[in-house]
Homo-oligomer: A and B are copies of this chain.
Amino acid sequence: MTTWTSAPTGRMAKLFRALSDEKRLRIVELLRGGERCVCDLQEAIDAGQSLLSFHLKTLKEAGIVDDRREGRWAFYSLNAEAFAEVEGFVAGVRQDAESSGGSKCCG
């Protein structure tokens, strides 16, 4: 068990929740190449304008993406810090899982 002072599971749950939708993951994939405007995302994703806006809002509220306005366009980009949070948590769990011994109860 690596030292990991109980990462706030509420925060983690929120991050995982935002990433749990296939369309939102598709958006993340598209943003891996860099900042994109909504109009560009819309071409690449099978979703109406309203739905895309909803998913972007969901990602933004979780802190997974940042947005920026420029004229009539809105640009979205990935927030590296959020993924670092997730990576840290998951890596810790993986390490523990790899080194976990036998049963710890009901002996």
Query: Which A positions have Cβ atoms within 8 angstroms of B?
Result: 1, 4, 6, 9-10, 12-13, 16-17, 19-22, 25-26, 28-29, 31-37, 39-40, 73, 75, 77-80, 83-84, 86-87, 90-94, 96-98, 100-106
Assess the A34–B101 pair: CB atoms within 8 A.
yes
Q: Which residues on the B side are within 8 Å of A101 (C-beta)?
A: 34-35
Assess the A32–B96 pair: CB atoms within 8 A.
yes
Q: Which residues on the B side are within 8 Å of A97 (C-beta)?
A: 31-32, 77-80, 83
Given contacts A13-B25, A19-B20, A78-B96, 19 further A-B contacts (CB under 8 A): A1-B33, A6-B29, A9-B22, A12-B19, A13-B20, A16-B16, A16-B17, A16-B20, A32-B93, A32-B96, A33-B96, A35-B101, A35-B102, A35-B103, A40-B105, A75-B106, A83-B91, A86-B90, A87-B87
